[in-house]
Amino acid sequence: MTQLPTPATRPDDPVPRPMGAHLPHEGDDGLYTQSWYPICMADDLAPGTVVGAEFLGGRVVAFRDAAGRPAVVSAYCVHLGADLGVGTVRDGLLRCRFHGWTYDEQGVCRRTGSGDPVPDGARLFRFPTEERFGVVWAFNGTEPIFRIPELPCPEDEVRAGRGRFGHLAMEPWMVSAHTLDLQHLSLPHGFDLKVPPADTVRSTAHSHGYDLVGSLPDGTTYDVRIDIHGPNLFLQTGLLDGRWYFWMTSPSLPAPGRTDSFFVYGVRKDESESEEEAQRALRRVFEAQMQFYSDDSDIFDTIHFQPGLLTSRDSTLAMFLDYLRTYPRANPAREFLS
């Protein structure tokens, strides 16, 4: 009787799955990509109010100082850990509900509720904070390593809209990565590329992008520059059916494996057009972008994003994944956030 060869593996050994080179996930080793992340809409942060939000696997609060400037600080009071999100704001100072310790916009405790002297080192973690495009942003770091991008025209020359997509079980960079996934432009979007995007890729230490020129099956034309700033801040500026517009999507980073994308968009104001025409132009931008998101939505709702085996058409995506592999990661606030 013929002897069967001894198998190299046992029947219950796992079969290795084809995987790309290692790419760290948010929260691996307690670290997160260093970028600007949206915390809340600026309109939701009225003077005298406090807004709590999840950030970097922990919790932060936003409030406005006496001059109306937003500040984002760690949420847990350094006395006994009460959530400052249920505190109060008066004269630009944030007061804990529990025993009245009161913090300024730098996160420094100015006084205790009891009148006892403030202990040395009584301060929250204060994130670099910006209010731009109607959104309050915080930077994961002690100092920003890049600035939130500018539009090619002043913000007050733009008619803008904004919103949020709601929670996705993805990390912010996964949302950005799909914009560099040229295979998916053909399917599911049906985009007809006029210029090979791989020829137009430009990278800096903190951005990565390409030119998108072509059309959709319904005849909609695009001639735009797409750049990802940091790992997550997706900005497109250019012409939609010949009219200048911008669209920015910025996925937030509440916790590993989760995001909530904020978006802002706009058209340049044109004094010669009526209010109705201007609103129609703005709605056109919104609807065109929503068509992209509609094409992708069931994929995004179900994907377990994992770079595996790529082909030559994935070269633009592969370049972005390489950029992410060496992208700075940090978490200087980690001891404050939970």
At closest approach, how far in Å is the CB of 122 from ligand FES?
Answer: 10
Q: Which of Fe ion, ligand FES, none does residue 334 bind (CB under 5 to 8 Å by kind)?
A: none
- In the chain the first and final C-alpha atoms are separated, in Å, by 66
Instruction: Provide the minimum distance between the beta carbon of 211 and Fe ion in the complex, in angstroms, as a whole number.
Output: 17
List, in order, residues 6 or more apart from 54 with CB less than 8 Å away. Answer: 60, 254, 255
Residue 296 binds: one of ligand FES, Fe ion, none (C-beta under 5 to 8 A by kind): Fe ion
Which is nearer to ligand FES, 100 or 307 (by Cβ)?
Answer: 100
Scanning 18-26, 33-41, 289-297, 324-332 for contacts with Fe ion by CB under 5 A, the matching segment is 289-297
Q: Nearest-CA neighbor of 75 among 338, 334, 335?
A: 338
Output 98 or 300, the one with its CB closest to Fe ion: 300
The residue type found at 41 is M
Interface segment toward Fe ion; rule CB under 5 A; list 214-222, 231-239, 293-301, 318-326 = 293-301
For residue 296, state whether it binds Fe ion (rule: CB under 5 A): yes
Cα separation of 33 and 26, whole Å? 7
Comparing CB distances to Fe ion, the nearer of 55 and 263 is 263
Segment holding 18, helix H or strand E: none
Q: How far is the CB of 125 from ligand FES (least distance, A)?
A: 15
Contact partner, 128, from Fe ion, ligand FES, none, Cβ < 5-8 Å per class: none
| Residue 239: contacted member of Fe ion, ligand FES, none (CB under 5 to 8 Å, by partner type) | none
Nearest to 45 by CA among 15, 97, 111, 89: 89
State the Cα–Cα distance between residues 138 and 140, nearest whole angstrom. 7
- The C-alpha angle 36, 39, 40, rounded to 5 degrees, equals 135
Count of beta carbons in the 10 Å neighbourhood of residue 159 = 17
Q: Which is nearer to Fe ion, 130 or 260 (CB)?
A: 260
Sign of CA dihedral 226, 230, 234, 238: negative
Q: Which does 80 bind (CB under 5 to 8 A by kind): Fe ion, ligand FES, none?
A: ligand FES
Residue 101's binding partner out of ligand FES, Fe ion, none, with CB under 5 to 8 Å set by partner kind = ligand FES
Q: Which of 71, 128, 27 is nearest to 331 (CA)?
A: 27
C-beta closer to Fe ion: residue 142 or 297:
297
- Candidates 2, 58, 69; CA nearest to 27 is 58
Selection from Fe ion, ligand FES, none that 77 binds (CB < 5 to 8 A by kind) is: ligand FES
Q: How far is the CB of 249 from Fe ion (least distance, A)?
A: 11
Q: In the 8-state DSSP scheme, what is residue 147?
A: P
Shortest separation between residue 113's beta carbon and ligand FES, angstroms: 6
- Nearest distance from C-beta of residue 258 to ligand FES, angstroms: 28
Task: Please choose which of ligand FES, Fe ion, none residue 146 contacts, taking the beta carbon within 5 to 8 angstroms, the exact cut-off set by kind.
Answer: none
Q: How far is the CB of 80 from ligand FES (least distance, A)?
A: 4
Distance in angstroms (rounded) separating the CA atoms of residues 52 and 85: 5
At residue 36, what are phi and psi to the nearest 5 degrees? -85, 130
Count the alpha carbons within 13 Å of 281 in the hemisphere toward its beta carbon. 22
Nearer to ligand FES, 88 or 291 (CB): 88
Amino acid at position 118, single letter: V
Q: Which residues bind ligand FES (CB under 6 A)?
A: 77, 79-80, 82, 96, 98-101
Shortest Å distance, C-beta 51 to ligand FES? 18
Q: How far is 180 from 183, CA to CA, in rounded Å?
A: 9
Return residues touching Fe ion (CB under 5 A). Answer: 296
